[in-house]
Structure 1
């Protein structure tokens, strides 16, 4: 009977696991690297052109990640299967909805994102920032929990751990960049806010103001979420046609 080499990988550990780790690493280096070079880059080519460069690098890499995840999400070892349990699908959709609420309100200035208006770095301390100073990290963690629960595969867990690790790094990296740019002004914001959701509110440093959430930007995010929900089946079909 043939003996397995001690270096033989288990059959469920497909190459897609390692490819996803590589793609996540490339995206993290490019995205965080360009963010770290923003002040220097803007001084050389201007804020608008640097934003265009940032988008031309980040968006294609993010698109590749999304397509690759969709196409390989069921690969690897199935650790749990809960899709048929009553209430799980609803829970996953609610968590996914909540994740997008946190993921996208950090980028309210759409004209700046598109480089129509001059991109600026802002010190926010209202709205969702009262809940967490790093809402995108919170949203990503919630998204990863929801999709890991639903899919239950090792490939999904590898993807989730990679995304969460990148966003935890981005918390440190983002605070470091803002400290460098704003100094004492950001340190004061940092004292009045928290990374952990609701902590600053619970310990009295912040007070939640519902009126701050009644604005077009939040309505736009909610509209986008419902549009994404409607397009979700079509996206599954479209990404499946891209073979890589």
Structure 2
């Protein structure tokens, strides 16, 4: 049959991604109201209790079904591809990581707050998590090359593109003219504000322990990757 490769897992991963997107973005939208009702720390814990299980299930499902569907290309035997994928993955974490700089806020040990940043990675792009996710998707879709992985990547990228609008909307609602000023000096597309002379690169802002921790994390992930593959493969669904 023409569409025999279109397995149910293609639709299942889209459903999981949609469920995560609704929960994650929905709770983010409700944050001002929720924090007034139960406090910032309790709301952060609620956010984690809802988002993390959904994320773990989605990640496990992806790893278990990543080779489903049609094999669009096969480049894993090309020597240069594997190091390219690892470099792209490491760069993606460079953009994804700034959201966890203040781990005490993430863990609700300190009072979680909404910050209006204009330093470090934000000088490069106002939405580093979106950029990091796009780079991660490109790397893994290139390496795996299946329709299932391509569908997953499209879903992830669409969610993060919505997050660009949603994030700007929430910051605009909270900070008003202060956010408009930051928006005027930054860009969504990486380096665009710098090329247009609206922003400068300050390398000293990248000299911080968090980036050393990121380097260690990437090395540990590279070392533990085969083990992670075996562990996720043992959880079948």
What TM-score bracket applies, with the shorter chain setting the length?
A: over 0.9
Q: Which residue of 1 aligns with 2:165?
A: 172
- In structure 2, the partner of 1:218 is 211
Name 1:16's counterpart in structure 2.
Answer: 9
Superposed displacement of residue 114, structure 1: 0.2
Aligned to 1:121: 114
C-alpha displacement of 1:105: 1.3
Q: Secondary structure at the match of 1:104?
A: helix
Partner of 2:145: 152
Task: Name the CA distance, whole Å, in 1 between partners of 2:219 and 2:166.
Answer: 32
1:56 aligned to which of 36, 49, 60: 49
1:227 aligns with 2:220: yes
Compute the TM-score of the two structures, normalised by the length of structure 2: 0.98
| Aligned match of 1:241 | 234
1:226 positional shift: 1.4
Return the match for 2:82 from 84, 89, 97. 89
Q: How far 1:10 moved relative to its partner?
A: 1.7
What SS class does the counterpart of residue 231 from structure 1 fall into? helix
Q: Distance in 2 between matches of 1:224 and 1:34?
A: 28
Rounded to whole Å, the distance in 1 between the matches of 2:111 and 2:220 is: 28
Deviations 1:152-205 (A, max 9, x none): 000000000000000000000000000001111011000000000000111111
* Alpha-carbon shift at residue 104 of structure 1 (Å): 1.1
Contact 1:105 1:221 in 2 (8 A): no
Structure 1 unaligned residues grouped into runs of 5+: none
Runs (4+) of structure 1 exceeding 4 A deviation are none
Q: How many residue pairs get matched? A: 237
Does residue 111 of the first structure (1) align with residue 100 of the second (2)? no
Instruction: State how far apart, in whole Å, the 1-side matches of 2:73 and 2:41 are.
Output: 47
Partners of 2:226 and 2:197 in 1: CA distance: 43
Give the structure with higher Rg (CA): 1
**Mapped partners of 1:128, 1:49: distance in 2:** 29
CA drift at 1:217: 1.4
- CA root-mean-square deviation: 0.9
Q: Could you list the per-position Cα deviations for residues 36-59 of structure 1 after superposition, in whole angstroms to 9, with x for gaps in the alignment?
A: 000000000000000000000111
- In the alignment, the residues of structure 1 paired with residue 186 and residue 180 of structure 2 have an alpha-carbon distance, to the nearest angstrom, of 10
Q: CA deviation at 1:85?
A: 1.1
2:126 equivalent to 1:138: no
- Give the Cα separation in 2 of the matches to 1:135 and 1:163: 14
Name the structure 1 match of 2:92: 99
- Corresponding residue number in structure 2 for 1:192: 185
Task: State the distance in 2 between where 1:176 and 1:107 align.
Answer: 21
SS at 2:72's partner residue?
coil
